[in-house]
Structure 1
Amino acid sequence: MPRRQQASARQQRLGAELRKLREAAGLKGREAAALLGTDSAQVSQIEAGLAGVSKVRMRRIAAQYACTDTELVDALAAMAVARTQGWWEEYRGLLPTSFLDLSELEHHATYRWDVEFLYIPGLLQTEDYARALFSSRVPELPEEDLELRVRHRMRRRTILERERPIPYDALVHEAALRIMVGSRAASRAQLTRVLELSEADHISVRVIPFELEHFSDVGAAMVYAGGAVPRLDTVVRDGPHGTVFVDSAAQLSVFRTHFRRLQAVSLDPERSRDLIHRLSKEL
């Protein structure tokens, strides 16, 4: 396959997992190249996500690396295809690459967890709420760019609305529900939207209440996307210098623990709906 100019986060992840398999087999790049009948430069490009591999070649690589985890091999083989031509490709060159990488990650996820402290999670946002958020950006976005971001965010909801939606669990701090974003009417409509979505069988919304004592875990805001196997899970976090995709086993374990702890102290879905309903009436 021809060399790519730029690899998506999904393609980079496949390459990184192949590198881990090679290293676990105790092989250097040139040794792997000899087994695969290629050169070390090609192996490097594959591991960087810059060169694609077919499903057949992916399975051959796994066999040469003596990988016996059939579920992992199947999952990697499913990733070993050319870039998915999903709806997000319409925005390539128009939005930052991280926006597209997140959309592709969500599209292939088996489940999704969100933890938010200051804002309603993106997948639950109304158009007016999202527009108000993007409008507050510094420096101010040109109108065309703002509308692109809003449309993209609304399209991301596809994973919750398609024929086979993924299970979605959102933990939202009470602060995010009380902070008015945009007008009073827009904020009320946003809470109503969260209530409507929370009634779906595949969606769970739990509120982290103000009343918790000894609570200081506000640094755990995250998007957690489940992979086909746990090893392929990914955490997405927004940082001061952009979006970060986290996939190391140790860090994933920490974020899973964070989520479970926050889930345990959150209100159950019914009590959460009662609180959201009360807050909407107060607006």
Structure 2
Amino acid sequence: MALRTSTTERQRRLGAELKKLREQAGLNVTDGGAFIGMGRAHLSHVEAGRTAIPTDKLRKLCHSYGCTSAPYIDALVSMSETDGKGWWTEYRRLLKPPALDLAELEAAANSLASYESLFIPGVLQIADYTRAIFRSSQQDWSDKDREKAVQFRMDRQKILTTDQPPALHAVIHESALHVRFGNADVRRRQLLHLVRMAKLPHVIIQVLPFTAEGLSAFSTPFLLVESHQSTLHTVLAETHAASAFLHDADSFTKYRSHFHRLAAAALPPLDPDVAAYDHGTHDSLGLVQHILYTLQEH
């Protein structure tokens, strides 16, 4: 039994789901392993994501635990059978595991809900805006590494233009539209890019204005991901210290409730198809147009 020297978020998630099913069935590791002829230590490694589990044993284990949801079991099988390789593989030497895990997670997503307080969401950034962020935050990178990291973020955005793209709902705090990453031209082009992306039928973009009340507690960015036909849910909670992937139902329910409150307090979505005279600063496009006007003065 070969053990992995490092594990991905997907591998840890699969193990965590199997552990959750076992505990819900009221079984210990020894009893769980007995169903599939697997020793206690071996199943412990599976639940920790340190080793794989054959598909037939995975299905038998789920049924032995009393799981009857075929879509959920199929989702676990899909996670187990994939080799985890994708376009992000070539960036392994440069970027840390959380960034690669996010790319893999987004690739399997059918729905994304993003809240950002100081940045435009990564999947909606233009290259020059991303480049300006990295110049200020990754000053120890070489120009070559910085450009490769910029390309990584641009490659992430391709999920929005695939044949079956995930639905994206982004709530962006107004402060992110004012923070200066790049010169006035870069910021103007970034805002115009938001307007263009809002034309996609599966993309909703809202701005949370400074005037919104009672939401100061929600300053920490987070991302809600639904994957495998919404049978699996993940929260990516961002802090200055680290990124945390949360899978438990309570966390997802809490953050989803936060997101609904933020969306309800935000201005109506960007809608480039509405005639200009119908817009004002009371909606997201009107606010973006107002900021664009101020940038033209620079």
Q: What is the match of residue 68 of structure 2?
A: 68
Q: What is the match of residue 277 of structure 2?
A: none
Q: What is the match of residue 179 of structure 2?
A: 179
Q: Comparing 22-31 with 104-113, which one deviates more in the overlay?
A: 22-31
Give the aligned CA root-mean-square deviation in angstroms: 1.6
- With the length of structure 1 as denominator, give the TM-score of the two structures: 0.94
Q: What is the match of residue 275 of structure 1?
A: 287
Query: Contact 1:52–1:82 (CA<8 Å) still a contact in 2?
Result: no
Shift of 1:246: 1.3
Does residue 157 (structure 1) correspond to residue 169 (structure 2)? The answer is no
Instruction: For 1:1-283, list aligned pairs within 5 A.
Output: 2-137=2-137, 139-228=139-228, 232-269=232-269, 270=271, 271-283=283-295
How far apart in 1 are the matches of 2:236 and 2:135?
Answer: 23
In structure 2, give the amino acid aligned to 1:89.
T
Shift of 1:180: 2.1
3-state secondary structure, aligned to 1:110: strand
**Partner deviation per Cα, 1:4-32 (whole Å, 9 max, x = no partner):** 22111011000000001111112111112
Shift of 1:83: 2.5
In structure 2, give the amino acid aligned to 1:239.
T
Query: Contact 2:180–2:187 (CA<8 Å) still a contact in 1?
Result: yes
Count residues in correspondence: 283
In structure 1, give the amino acid aligned to 2:120.
I
Query: Contact 2:209–2:266 (CA<8 Å) still a contact in 1?
Result: yes
In structure 1, give the amino acid aligned to 2:284.
S
Q: Comparing 206-215 with 183-192, which one deviates more in the overlay?
A: 206-215
Shift of 1:84: 2.3
Shift of 1:42: 1.2
Shift of 1:280: 1.4
Query: Contact 1:95–1:148 (CA<8 Å) still a contact in 2?
Result: no
Query: Contact 1:129–1:190 (CA<8 Å) still a contact in 2?
Result: yes
How far apart in 2 are the matches of 1:233 and 1:149?
Answer: 27
How far apart in 2 are the matches of 1:153 and 1:193?
Answer: 15
3-state secondary structure, aligned to 2:114: strand
In structure 2, give the amino acid aligned to 1:276.
V
Query: Contact 1:236–1:244 (CA<8 Å) still a contact in 2?
Result: yes
- Segments of 5+ residues of structure 2 without an aligned counterpart are 272-282
Shift of 1:138: 5.5
**Partner deviation per Cα, 1:56-85 (whole Å, 9 max, x = no partner):** 222111112121222321211221114222
How far apart in 1 are the matches of 2:170 and 2:133?
Answer: 19
How far apart in 2 are the matches of 1:230 and 1:144?
Answer: 38
How far apart in 2 are the matches of 1:51 and 1:213?
Answer: 48
How far apart in 2 are the matches of 1:42 and 1:109?
Answer: 30
> Residues 250 and 144 from structure 1, CA distance in 2 versus in 1: closer, same or farther, beyond 3 angstroms?
same
How far apart in 2 are the matches of 1:35 and 1:148?
Answer: 47
Q: What is the match of residue 278 of structure 2?
A: none
How far apart in 1 are the matches of 2:134 and 2:289?
Answer: 26
In structure 1, give the amino acid aligned to 2:268.
D
Q: Comparing 31-40 with 229-238, which one deviates more in the overlay?
A: 229-238
3-state secondary structure, aligned to 1:22: helix
In structure 1, give the amino acid aligned to 2:146.
L
How far apart in 1 are the matches of 2:15 and 2:112?
Answer: 23
In structure 1, give the amino acid aligned to 2:185.
A
- With the length of structure 2 as denominator, give the TM-score of the two structures: 0.90
**Partner deviation per Cα, 1:110-168 (whole Å, 9 max, x = no partner):** 10011011111111000000000011016532223212211111100011011111100
